[in-house]
């Protein structure tokens, strides 16, 4: 049994919350284990002047931490699962999927307004193509702008800006105690979340059996099944580009429900579909459901939408 464990993490307040949460949970089960954090600055933390849609977000917040993992400088990495590319580097694996926080997005507005009550041509802040597409598909009058940075920075920029509202994930807002700023929690029928939103992914080396065994206590099987279904769908559609895809899976009494959205960046073309799988007892079945739904989306016209987006990525 290892006596010491080093966790790699970004240094943003939310990333530190996630790493400290992981450390505390592991310490409950392994009180004799010496656990320390190693802070890593990632490319995504440095390139703050350009929208994610321009620089791409494939591994921006994970690759630099993974280098330390591959080099045996840390034992595990704690990521927001929505930031983790669907293909992990050779020699690494996601060994645990934590219990999921509320997956929904929220609106933060200056005057407590909801999506429906925001003024005509309201200015909305988001760095997400997924949110942009879904917003414009509902309200093409919205003027979309970009805000980058960690959560605390975004709130500061927003308060000093002329934006009417901004969109964020409930999970981060809740975890950093900004819940009193929420104007509206958007239902999945209105805004499907990012793949893996609300969950943490614990990444280890594939051959590090001791660490893999240790982090098993963090794994939530419901989260694992649901996020594997979502990630399989994204992997089948994405092709290395940042594209407007939203997805959410739920698992209850052995029945998996998977919902998905694919849209053009301007929201003028949008496709929603869903799939239900009964007697889902293995993660591989959940992943196959994700692939099957991706195929249905392609048949419904998602291939044309994605082909247009890939011309510019």
Q: Give the catalytic positions in this structure.
A: 83
What letter would DSSP give residue 148? Answer: -
Q: What DSSP element (H or E) covers 188?
A: none
Percentages helix, strand, coil for the chain (3-state, rounded to 5) are: 40, 25, 40
Nearest in space to 6 (alpha carbons), one of 42, 25, 34, 31 = 34
Tell me the H-state helices in 163-299: 170-175, 209-215, 221-238, 283-297
Tallying the residues shown for the chain, one arrives at: 313
Residue 140 structure tokens: 């093409």
Residue 200 structure tokens: 């943490």
Pairing of strands 34-39, 4-9: parallel
Residue 279 structure tokens: 């007697």
Q: Give dist(CA 288, CA 4) in Å, integer.
A: 38
Contact 285, 251 (CB under 8 A): no
Residue 138 structure tokens: 């509902």
Contact 76, 7 (CB under 8 A): yes
Contact 131, 165 (CB under 8 A): no
N- to C-terminal Cα distance for the chain?
46
Helix pair angle (283-297, 221-238), 10° resolution: 30
Nearest in space to 195 (alpha carbons), one of 151, 152, 135, 244 = 244
Return the residue matching tokens 């790699």.
8
């Amino acid at each position: 049994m290892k006596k010491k464990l080093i966790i790699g993490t970004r240094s943003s307040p939310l990333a530190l919350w996630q790493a400290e949460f992981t450390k505390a949970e592991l310490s409950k089960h392994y009180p004799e284990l010496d656990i320390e954090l190693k802070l890593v600055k990632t490319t995504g933390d440095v390139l703050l002047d350009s929208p994610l849609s321009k620089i791409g977000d494939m591994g921006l917040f994970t690759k630099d931490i993974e280098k330390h993992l591959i080099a045996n400088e840390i034992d595990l990495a704690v990521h927001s699962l929505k930031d983790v590319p669907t293909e992990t580097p050779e020699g690494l694996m996601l060994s645990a999927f934590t219990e999921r926080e509320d997956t929904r997005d929220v609106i933060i507005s200056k005057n407590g307004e909801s999506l429906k009550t925001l003024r005509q041509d309201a200015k909305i802040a988001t760095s997400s193509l997924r949110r942009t597409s879904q917003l414009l598909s509902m309200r093409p009058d919205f003027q979309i702008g970009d805000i980058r940075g960690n959560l605390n920075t975004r709130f500061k920029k927003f308060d000093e800006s002329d934006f009417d509202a901004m969109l964020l994930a409930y999970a981060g807002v809740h975890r950093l105690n900004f819940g009193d700023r929420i104007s509206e929690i958007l239902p999945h029928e209105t805004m499907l979340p990012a793949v893996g939103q609300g969950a943490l992914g614990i990444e280890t080396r594939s051959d590090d059996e001791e660490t893999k065994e240790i982090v098993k206590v963090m794994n939530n099987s419901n989260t694992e099944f649901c996020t594997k279904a979502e990630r399989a769908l994204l992997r089948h559609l994405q092709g290395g580009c940042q594209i407007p895809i939203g997805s959410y899976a739920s698992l209850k009494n052995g029945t998996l429900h998977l919902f998905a959205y694919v849209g053009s960046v301007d929201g003028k073309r949008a496709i929603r579909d869903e799939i239900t799988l009964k007697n889902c007892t293995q993660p591989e079945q959940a992943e196959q459901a994700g692939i099957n739904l991706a195929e249905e989306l392609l048949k419904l016209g998602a291939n044309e939408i994605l082909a247009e987006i890939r011309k510019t990525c």
